Structure 1
Amino acid sequence: MSADYSLGKTLAMIKEGDSLTVTQAIEERDIFLYLGLTNDNNPLFTQTAYAAQTEYQHAVVPQVLLAGIMTSAISKHLPGPGSNVVNISINFIQPVLHGETLTFSFKVIRVDRTRELVTLSIAAENVRQQRVLDAVILVTPPKAPTDQ
């Protein structure tokens, strides 16, 4: 039986220094889809009048939505389809405002062949080249399915 999908990079194909850059505009639609899915009613994410009274002065993007952009890039590109995120550590340096465009820079910083794990370092910047987050994500790369 043939598979109708392609797998991403296996552990043998990945090396330290491999990299990926993803640019993503964060649109209102994305934010409201996330909020609808999670039922998150934080006024800091949705209420412009409330957010204007805070230190941020504007509604901000939910942090978990930013994590989702990173894990999506991992699932799609590096290592790619079939990979599984097993640990995430994120430092949110400054808030991301609605409508901002971010550039995420991914780099493989460790390949642990014994534990079959890849460690990715991610940094994201806005168009003003301000760092908005740093992350380290551990991933198990895809493995070819075994016949049963």
Structure 2
Amino acid sequence: MNELNGYDIEDLEVGMTASFSKTITEADIILFAGASGDNNAIHINEDFARTTPFGGRIAHGFLTASTISAAIANRLPGPGTIYIAQEMRFVGPVRPGDTVTARVTVKQLTRERSRAVLLTICSVGDKVVVEGEATVRTTSRARREATV
């Protein structure tokens, strides 16, 4: 692993995995609503949210999914990685105070293009709440050395 650039494509192997965990706070939800403009009452109004099938407030799906981005950027492949695509399904709610763990696993590598396909799973405890797949461009020692 390159400390400044994460794992280069040359260092990655199918099956490698990493995770990132974050507790979703009230402040996270309110700040995300402000930053995104998504002020859906299911996220910010407890009285309304109690009338929904969830029975209370839930975090924004994309706030939950942002832990995937943190796992990719900070852990695997790490710094220098560029997101190309993300496919995901939201399969369960996340409530204020829940700790979300995003796990990324290398599924496929295209070394000549410095591309990796990663399985992406977010869980709260043993329950999957987001599942999907990301395509990223990684750093490459060969590309860095060719430019020196």
1:10-38 CA distance string (max 9 Å, x none): 11111101101222211111111211111
Matched positions, count = 142
Give the distance between the partners of 1:103 and 1:73, measured in 2 at CA.
9
2:36 is matched with which residue? 38
**Superimposed CA distance per residue, residues 33-82 of structure 1 (whole angstroms, 9 cap, x where no aligned partner):** 21111122110110000000000011111011122111122111111111
Residue 62 of structure 1 is aligned with which of 43, 60, 63? 60
Q: In 2, Cα distance between the equivalents of 1:134 and 1:73?
A: 14
Q: Would the aligned equivalents of 2:50 and 2:57 in 1 still touch at CA under 8 Å?
A: yes
Match 1:94 to one of 66, 87, 92: 92
Give the Cα–Cα distance (whole angstroms) in 2 for the partners of residues 122 and 132 of structure 1. Answer: 11
Identity of counterpart residues, as a percentage? 25
Distance 2:13 2:128 in 1: 26
**One of 121, 133, 139 as aligned partner of 2:136:** 139
In 2, Cα distance between equivalents of 1:124 and 1:38: 21
Q: TM-score, normalised by structure 2?
A: 0.88
Structure 1: gaps of 5 or more residues: none
Paired residue for 1:103?
Answer: 101
Q: What secondary structure sits across from 2:101 in the alignment?
A: strand
CA RMSD of aligned residues (A): 1.6
Where 1:114 maps in the other structure, the secondary structure is helix
Unaligned 5+ segments in structure 2 are none
Misfit runs of 4+, over 3 Å: 143-147
Greater share of residues in helix: 2
Give the Cα separation in 2 of the matches to 1:19 and 1:72. 14
The answer as to whether partners of 2:67 and 2:100 remain within 8 angstroms in 1 is no
